[in-house]
């Protein structure tokens, strides 16, 4: 099972630091317990017995931004909430990721009016957008898996253009 | 008109004058702003309207006098009837006496009307905005306030909007 | 984007006690991001040690502009907004809005559609109370309640998905009836749920109702007397827990609720435990209504055949020119409603959900106001928490069963 099969006779595994660190990051990514609207209920469903997001090392929803790696913006962001959201993002330690869950967080959804921000990417940088109003828990889990792919492909060496 | 509502309308007419309209069994009774507190007290104490079900307003812009109707929807649990009071308010400096002394729920409702319509409630204990940010301008539910529609991003205009959209930085 | 503001005590001078101004008591901010505020509610607390002296709720962090947005849409299209107000009670919101439209344009609903509306909105009530039970259990550190309640809720959401294609934002109830008839699997799915659910309620009650830890947190906490509740326009289970027997399903029956035999649970204590009991008993009563309605579900059409307001069935469009014209007119222009206003209310899981609707003779509503129960149910919070501990505040807030989308609209 798992890593023991790859040990060989020496009890040593060779890999790159990138692989190990990214593997660690993806397997214990703690989302922030932060629900805004309808999507938050589906996020709770994803955590609950039928879907069980803890299969992916995400059973801990941290209530404090200081202890979380992932912000799932679950729901519509009003103009009153936007500065609060940005402050929460700023309080999260690096490295941090953002999933815009649902149509409202991604692009404003059905609410195209004075009160709702047309996409949370105007306030925080978004890594993965999950479509749906609200997205099914499976869709959220797919979004998380997509984020994992992105994290696993992270390079430590800065690229040329940076 | 429902039989139970007749004595109420009669009592109000005897005291305040004023007119009423009827639609699908609902009675809307018009009173002047200065009379509203007295009218609500009368209905609560003598006609058993214990519940102020809703309090809202309608903006009839560009009409100016009256520009707003403030609406008080009352329910009586004992008699199982509803009754609506309407207060016409002029557009320039709309002011109504507060009903917060009669029904506690009017406190937050009037803050909402102040926020959304800019109607001032005289003697209100806590006149602050309730839903919009404290530093926002204007009153969104007024008819002359724009909806704030932004052009949605589709395939054909993706580039245009992508260029001017204020994306956040790290 | 507005800026974050520094809060000074001067702003709240009229709401806090004298001692806050001298710094003797502490002002503490709770929310908008807090695990037990059930959304984005912000509370400003004045504390003397652990005791709450005063509590100033700050709402509006989810203000969505629904009422303004609905004015820009036709009567049919505005309905999608109602789903997203109180997102625990989507079917009930559809029902409230659709009933208001039907009252405004004077439209009849076939009996089968009425029975389906009753079944679905009662299932929604159960689902909503389950979310409440799960999350308030979570607030009081009863983690397993959350897992159990969401298990049953999934079963109800599956039924919704079966009839409407969506788990939460169903928009299934439409003016003049429902979207389309339920599939054949519907009856079996609901019967399965009716069969399994009473035992599940027993299970919840075994875990909570007589649990001494739970009773310690709930009994005598957050008392609200009937007079204060009425003055604050509190409705629904909260009012019934304060001893006032007021349920719109009984008082002003709509959609044929008078045919069903059910009780309205009333308790007189007015504390958080009474609210818990009312809601748990309502689970059983709602199930009774669902069963009765399903047993005598009449056959027949599910949509009114008044073509001025209700689109014709798909099959007719291919053969009838008139049907095609009606369909085209309804979805491009919408239907006109008279220049008048009405107020219509239903009993949502949280209380009286009223819709004030004013038409101007055109196809768009001139003004829609949603009288949402959570807004008023939250307003007496500052009176309920006075003198209690901060930990009790969490229990009291959970027992009010607020939904922020419902408050902020």
How many residues can be counted in chain A? 162
- Neighbours of A, requiring at least 3 CB pairs below 8 Å, are B, C
As a whole number of Å, the CA-based R_g of chain A is 17
At A129, the pLDDT band (50, 70, 90 cuts) reads very high
User: Does A30 have pLDDT greater than 50?
Assistant: yes
Of chain B, the percentage scoring pLDDT greater than 90 comes to 22
User: Does C39 have pLDDT greater than 50?
Assistant: yes
Determine the distance in angstroms separating the CA of C186 from the nearest CA of chain B, rounded to an integer: 36
Per CB-CB distance under 8 Å, the chain B contacts of C402 are: none
Average pLDDT, chain A: 85
Q: How far apart are CA A54 and CA A144, in angstroms?
A: 12
Of chain B, the percentage scoring pLDDT greater than 70 comes to 100
At C2, the pLDDT band (50, 70, 90 cuts) reads low
Q: What is the mean pLDDT of residues A93-102?
A: 89
Helix/strand/coil for C343? strand
Tokens of A87: 């402050």
pLDDT in tens, C356-370: 999 998 899 999 999
Strands A128-130 and A97-101: parallel
At A161, the pLDDT band (50, 70, 90 cuts) reads low
Q: How far apart are CA C30 and CA C42, in angstroms?
A: 6
Q: What is the mean pLDDT of residues A7-28?
A: 81
Q: Does B62 touch chain A (CB under 8 A)?
A: no
User: Bridge-partner residues for C135, per DSSP?
Assistant: none
CB C68 within 8 A of CB C160: no
In angstroms, how far is the first alpha carbon of chain C from the final one?
Answer: 19
Determine the distance in angstroms separating the CA of C261 from the nearest CA of chain A, rounded to an integer: 32
Tokens of C251: 């008082």
Q: How far apart are CA C155 and CA C147, in angstroms?
A: 13
Query: HEC states along A28-52?
Result: CCCEECCECCHHHHHHHHHHCCCCC
Q: What is the mean pLDDT of residues A8-20?
A: 79
pTM: predicted TM-score of the whole model, two decimal places: 0.92
Facing B167 at nearest CB: one of A107, A115, A121: A121
Q: What is the mean pLDDT of residues B73-101?
A: 90
Residues of chain C numbered 212-271 and touching chain B (CB < 8 Å): 228, 230-233, 235, 244, 246, 251-252
pLDDT in tens, B119-167: 999 898 888 888 888 888 889 999 888 888 888 888 898 888 888 888 8
Average pLDDT, chain C: 89
CB C264 within 8 A of CB C252: no
Please report where in the chains the tokens 């506690």 appear, as a residue: B104
Could you please report the per-residue DSSP string of C147-205? Answer: HHHHHHHHHHHHHHHHHHS-SS----EETTEESSPPPTHHHHHHHHHHHHHHHHHHHHH
Predicted pLDDT at A128: 92
Facing B135 at nearest CB: one of C2, C15, C251: C2
Lowest mean pLDDT among A41-50, C32-41, C111-120, C315-324: C32-41
Q: Determine, for residues A122 and B165 on separate chains, whether the beta-carbon distance falls below 8 Å.
A: yes
How many residues can be counted in chain B? 170
User: Bridge-partner residues for C369, per DSSP?
Assistant: C356
Q: How far is CA C352 from CA B115, C94, C235, C355, C392, in A?
A: 23, 14, 6, 10, 26
Predicted pLDDT at A4: 66
Average pLDDT, chain B: 88
User: Does C403 have pLDDT greater than 70?
Assistant: yes
Q: Which residues make Cβ contacts (< 8 Å) with residue C206, sequence separation at least 6? A: none
Q: How far apart are CA A51 and CA A137, in angstroms?
A: 7
pLDDT in tens, C128-159: 999 999 888 888 878 888 889 998 999 999 99
Q: How far apart are CA B69 and CA B63, in angstroms?
A: 11
Question: Which of A88, A89, A113 to substitute to test the interface with B, most B CBs within 10 Å?
Answer: A113
């Amino acid at each position: 099972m798992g890593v023991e099969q790859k040990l060989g006779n020496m009890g040593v595994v060779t890999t790159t630091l990138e692989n190990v660190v990214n593997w660690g990051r993806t397997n214990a990514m703690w989302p922030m317990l932060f629900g805004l609207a309808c999507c938050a209920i589906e996020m709770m469903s994803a955590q609950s017995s039928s879907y069980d997001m803890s299969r992916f090392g995400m059973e801990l929803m941290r209530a404090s931004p200081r202890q979380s790696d992932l912000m799932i913006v679950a729901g519509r962001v009003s103009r009153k909430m936007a500065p609060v959201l940005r402050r929460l993002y700023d309080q999260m330690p690096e490295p941090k990721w953002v999933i815009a869950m649902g149509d409202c967080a991604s692009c404003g959804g059905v609410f195209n009016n004075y009160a709702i921000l047309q996409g949370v990417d105007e306030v925080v940088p978004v890594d993965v957008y999950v479509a749906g109003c609200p997205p099914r828990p499976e869709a959220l889990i797919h979004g998380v898996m997509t984020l994992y792919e992105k994290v696993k492909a992270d390079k430590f060496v800065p690229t040329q253009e940076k | 008109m429902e039989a139970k509502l007749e004595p109420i309308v009669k009592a109000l007419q005897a005291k305040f004058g004023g007119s009423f309209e009827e639609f699908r069994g609902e009675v809307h009774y018009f009173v002047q702003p200065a009379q509203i507190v007295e009218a609500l007290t009368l209905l609560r104490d003598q006609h058993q309207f214990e519940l102020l079900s809703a309090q809202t307003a309608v903006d009839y812009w560009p009409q100016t006098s009256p520009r707003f109707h403030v609406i008080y929807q009352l329910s009586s649990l004992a008699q199982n009837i509803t009754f609506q009071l309407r207060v016409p308010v002029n557009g320039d400096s709309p002011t109504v006496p507060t009903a917060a002394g009669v029904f506690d729920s009017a406190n937050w409702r009037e803050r909402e009307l102040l926020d959304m319509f800019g109607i001032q409630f005289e003697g209100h204990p806590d006149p602050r905005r309730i839903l919009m940010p404290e530093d926002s301008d204007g009153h969104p539910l007024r008819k002359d306030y724009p909806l704030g529609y932004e052009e949605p991003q589709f395939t054909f205009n993706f580039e245009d909007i992508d260029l001017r959209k204020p994306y956040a930085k790290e | 984007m507005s800026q974050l503001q520094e809060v000074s005590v001067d702003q709240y001078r009229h709401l806090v006690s004298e001692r806050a101004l001298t710094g003797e008591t502490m002002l503490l901010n709770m929310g908008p991001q807090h695990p037990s505020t059930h959304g984005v509610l912000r509370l400003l607390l004045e504390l003397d040690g652990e005791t709450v002296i005063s509590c100033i709720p700050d709402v509006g962090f989810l203000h969505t502009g629904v009422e303004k947005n609905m004015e820009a849409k036709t009567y049919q299209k505005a309905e999608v907004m109602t789903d997203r107000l109180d997102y625990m009670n989507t079917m009930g919101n559809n029902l409230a809005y659709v009933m208001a439209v039907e009252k405004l344009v004077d439209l009849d609903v076939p009996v089968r559609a009425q029975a389906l509306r009753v079944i679905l909105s009662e299932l929604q009530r159960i689902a909503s109370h389950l979310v409440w039970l799960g999350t308030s259990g979570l607030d009081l550190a009863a983690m397993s309640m959350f897992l159990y309640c969401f298990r049953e809720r999934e079963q109800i959401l599956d039924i919704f998905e079966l009839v409407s294609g969506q788990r939460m934002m169903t928009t299934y109830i439409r003016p003049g009836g429902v979207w389309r008839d339920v599939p054949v699997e519907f009856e079996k799915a609901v019967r399965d749920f009716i069969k399994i659910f009473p035992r599940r309620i027993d299970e919840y009650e075994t875990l909570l109702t007589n649990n001494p830890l739970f009773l310690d947190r709930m009994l005598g906490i957050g008392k609200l007397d009937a007079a204060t509740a009425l003055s604050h326009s509190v409705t629904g289970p909260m009012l019934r827990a304060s001893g006032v027997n007021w349920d719109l399903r009984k008082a002003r029956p709509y959609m044929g609720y008078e045919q069903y035999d059910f009780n309205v649970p009333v308790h007189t204590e007015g504390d958080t435990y009474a609210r818990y009991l009312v809601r748990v008993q309502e689970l059983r009563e709602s199930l009774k209504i669902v069963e009765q309605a399903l047993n005598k579900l009449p056959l027949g059409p599910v949509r009114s055949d008044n073509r001025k307001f209700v689109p014709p069935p798909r099959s007719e469009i291919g053969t009838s020119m008139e049907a095609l014209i009606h369909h085209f007119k309804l979805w491009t222009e919408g239907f006109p409603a008279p220049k008048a206003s009405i107020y219509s209310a239903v009993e949502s899981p949280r209380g009286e959900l009223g819709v004030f609707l004013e038409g101007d003779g055109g196809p768009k509503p001139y003004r829609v106001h949603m009288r949402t129960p959570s807004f008023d149910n939250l307003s007496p919070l500052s009176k309920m928490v006075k003198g209690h501990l901060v930990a009790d505040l969490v229990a009291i807030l959970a027992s009010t069963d607020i939904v922020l989308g419902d408050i902020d609209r």
